């Protein structure tokens, strides 16, 4: 089959006629791909961050946004 021989790993979709073209792809093509075992039927639980970085709901310490994490400060005595 051409998918196996050409090592195709995806589709580039462009709206050709109208936005319904995407719906047609989802309704007609995706079920066929699933029946052939080449497209997911279920997704893993969890947020995208967890799937990409494997650190649960928190950013890992190497992520640039981790520098902006809230750091509680100890209360200082009131001078007054």
pLDDT of 41 reads: 93
pTM of the model: 0.49
pLDDT digits (tens, 9 = 90+) for 37-58: 988 999 888 888 777 777 777 7
d(CA 49, CA 55): 8
Domain ranges in the chain are: 2-57
The CB density around residue 57, as the number of other CB atoms within 10 Å, is: 8
User: Residue 31 above 80 pLDDT?
Assistant: yes
């Amino acid at each position: 089959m051409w998918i196996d021989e050409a090592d195709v790993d995806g589709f580039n979709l462009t709206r050709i006629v109208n936005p319904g073209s995407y719906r047609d792809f989802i309704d007609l093509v995706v079920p066929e791909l699933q029946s052939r075992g080449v497209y997911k039927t279920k997704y893993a639980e969890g947020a995208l961050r967890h799937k990409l970085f494997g650190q649960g709901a928190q950013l890992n310490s190497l992520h640039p946004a981790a520098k902006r994490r809230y750091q509680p400060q100890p209360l200082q005595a009131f001078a007054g």
